[in-house]
A and B are shown apart, each in its own frame.
Chain A
């Protein structure tokens, strides 16, 4: 703590003196500055996730937790048909939603980046606003639209297009996919837009000058160069949606239940925390593996086109 000779000039210029010398270095100052939010994330995110992982190796008997190591929860999570089906369905839903979202969003990101002109910021704002407001209400709105006595059915009945309400609009996997794809549409635009902005326009001109048509140019220049954005957009949609709780509850019905609903039951009514923890950890590991596989596949595809 004693100010040693080299710190004296610093003292004269009125800066903070004393303290471990580490804190006077660039690295030390950096760590000191970032430490409050970093400590917060370590204590309230990493810590709790480690606790959840530990719980997944324990067992619960009514209210007491047995802390002997066991893999039974994982065995149940991965082999019991009900959980296996929910996991597979959640993966199917999140992968489908991610691809649908990215494919539908790509032309929009392209439009904003290439034709947005002065209004790029305004376009991005208009497109992302629905994403920032009313998560629960947007899903409720789809329930109102797709319901048996909902807006779509009553509208079509009124117009005489159908004679009886369609019963396949809501309470199935499709309703979940439509609702989630709508909910996350805006989020996918951002990484796509960023990667399109980084794309060097002269490369497109060069490809055109060298005789590539629009389709070839897109496949050989634009698509490979914006692949990082496509991958980011896929992951940014896929990983959060695999654990969506509200959408399956409101529009999924019996056939649209997803893994988050089973996790919630274990932490609520069923009160089997270790099993719920194992379901959560399994979901994260499996979705990471699937995400990794998709990234490798897309990178392979990119090399193929080049």
Chain B
């Protein structure tokens, strides 16, 4: 009877194809980073680790990695602190102007990064500041906060405000309530926010490119290396390490987010 495959079948096939194409370029880099050839071409030439070995002892790259770590950790902590404030206001308070305030905080998510980058550049240089890792952190905070807010809003929605009220009524100070009730309840969301924002910062290129001055982060270092065709295999090796690190961090963030969600299900 059936001449055509069922619509459900067609849809499933399409989705699998879609996901495969989504991942294809991401997985291609690691494949060629192990390929024994100076240019990424088919057919594959054989397995080698030499492009990875070529990275070790590269002082410029290690410096860039260190810079990325400083920027990422600072941006993750500061944006999560700002994110907690915003998420708390969004979930616990109803007031005029909340919509406008939160859209302003979320705006960097949808603005072209180059606009954010050049505006910040002009202001920072105008104030007579030297470009440094601090200016990169300032820029990264802008784009990390919206992601942090998204993660933390669901965290705040996940626990009952009456618990905080109970703590206050039992005589805890505002700070004591924050430290002993709110933060422990939010912990999985906070960890998830730290991991996500660290990954966003680690990956970010445009703001770092405009604001980093003489201290490159890893993506800026990679960009510089792209000028040299001979360095391409090493770049692929470094890129593969970065992608692997991002995948691990994001998976961990997702696991913590789910934990926060499970906590929510336990709610009476």
Contact = CB atoms under 8 A, between A and B. Distances in A.
Contact of B112 (A104, A141, A260): A260
A304 interface: no
A110 B10 CA distance: 13
B102 interface: yes
Interface residues of B, number: 91
B110 A15 contact: no
Interface stretch (A196-204, A221-229, A233-241): A233-241
Interface in A221-278: 235-236, 239-246, 250, 260, 263-264, 267, 273, 276-277
A71 interface: no
A144 B25 CA distance: 9
B8 interface: yes
Interface in B240-256: 242-243, 246-247, 250, 254
B266 interface: no
A133 to B, nearest CB: 3
Interface stretch (B48-56, B62-70, B166-174): B166-174
A186 B22 contact: yes
A158 interface: yes
B112 A34 contact: no
Contacts of A40: 82, 141-142, 145
Contact of B114 (A14, A36, A130, A260): A260
B145 A133 contact: no
A27 B115 CA distance: 33
Interface core residue of B23, B39, B93 (most chain A CB under 10 Å) = B93
B215 interface: no
A135 interface: yes
A36 B81 CA distance: 9
Nearest to A51: B123
Contacts of A115: 8, 11-12
A230 to B, nearest CB: 16
Interface string A115-137: 10000010001110110111111
A130 B26 contact: yes
A243 B114 contact: yes
B19 A48 contact: no
Contact of B105 (A41, A104, A185, A246): A41
Interface string B23-54: 10110110010000001111100000000000
B134 to A, nearest CB: 12
B22 A182 contact: yes
B222 interface: yes
B216 interface: no
Contact of B203 (A41, A132, A154): A132
B85 A36 contact: yes
Interface in B75-102: 81-83, 85-86, 88-90, 92-98, 101-102
B200 interface: yes
Contact of A33 (B88, B104, B200): B88
A154 B254 CA distance: 38
B101 A132 contact: no
A241 B250 CA distance: 24
Contacts of A144: 28-29, 32, 40, 236
Contacts of A52: 115, 118-119, 122
B229 to A, nearest CB: 10
Interface of A is mostly: helix
Interface in A93-108: 104, 107-108
B157 to A, nearest CB: 15
Given A55-B122, A273-B122, A132 B22 contact: no
B113 interface: yes
A37 B22 contact: no
A38 B104 contact: yes
A94 to B, nearest CB: 9
Contacts of A121: 258, 261
A108 B89 contact: no
A150 B37 CA distance: 13
A132 B200 contact: yes
A292 interface: no
Interface in B191-219: 196, 199-200, 203-206, 210, 219
Interface of B: 7-8, 11-12, 14-15, 18-19, 21-23, 25-26, 28-29, 32, 39-43, 81-83, 85-86, 88-90, 92-98, 101-102, 104-105, 107-116, 118-123, 126, 138-139, 141-142, 145, 149, 168-169, 171, 173-174, 196, 199-200, 203-206, 210, 219, 222-223, 226, 235-236, 239, 242-243, 246-247, 250, 254, 258, 261
30 contacts: A14-B173, A33-B88, A33-B92, A37-B85, A41-B104, A41-B145, A45-B116, A48-B116, A48-B120, A48-B122, A49-B115, A51-B123, A52-B118, A107-B14, A107-B18, A132-B250, A134-B239, A137-B239, A138-B26, A141-B26, A186-B22, A239-B110, A239-B112, A240-B113, A243-B113, A245-B113, A245-B206, A250-B226, A263-B114, A267-B118
